[in-house]
Amino acid sequence: MNRFVVISGCSGGGKSTLLAELGRRGHSVIEEPGRRIVIQEMNAKGAALPWVDAAAFARRAITMALADRTSAAPSIGWVFFDRSLVDAAAALQDLTGEPVLAALGRTYRYHRQVFLAPPWPEIYVTDLERRHSLEAAAVEYSRLLEVYPSLGYEVSILPKMGVAERADFVLSTLEE
């Protein structure tokens, strides 16, 4: 959909902070499926965690991303997604070899302009829900840097600057 804008890229690169700023400015935002799944699974003592069963985690992320698209449909104006169905499908395909990316990535479209947060070591931190290393996050970023253009998206790399300036960059890029 032309109103559905993806903010993706390196884990720990400031995506959630940027989405919070866009939300403060009145835009609709959809939180990252991965963090929501990790919190649910940890609370339920489940196994669909990236460090326990990464494929099950990716499948749940696909299901949640599809539900997020449906719930966002009535929204007016820009809807910003912290990661997308493309991220989840790319992860599952990378893990299992299942050819899900092309089918899902071409059927469920987002705005042609995608924003990727690059690795940013100065702000990267781990926590209870983010246990992987910066190196693992950078590998994921490299995969997404290839996947999005292969599906016909235009990628803009988010500059490493303050959150207000990043939000201005996103909104001005979308106005062009």
Looking at per-residue pLDDT, the higher value among 77 and 11 belongs to 77
Residue 128: per-residue pLDDT: 58
Average pLDDT for 60-87: 94
**Total of domains in the chain:** 1
Residue 42: per-residue pLDDT: 86
Report which of 96, 88, 82 is spatially closest to residue 143, judged by C-alpha positions.
Answer: 88
- Cα gap 160→120, rounded to integer Å: 8
Q: Is the pLDDT reported for residue 92 higher than 80?
A: yes
pTM value surpassing 0.75: yes
3-class secondary structure, 9: strand
Residue 129: per-residue pLDDT: 63
Q: Which two tokens stand for residue 22?
A: 């866009």
Decide if 80 contacts 141 (C-beta within 8 A).
no
Percent of the chain with pLDDT over 70: 91
pLDDT classification of 134: cutoffs 50, 70, 90: low
Which domain covers residue 114, as residue numbers? 4-175
Q: Is the pLDDT reported for residue 130 higher than 70?
A: no
Residue 59: per-residue pLDDT: 94
The CATH number that applies at residue 167 is 3.40.50.300
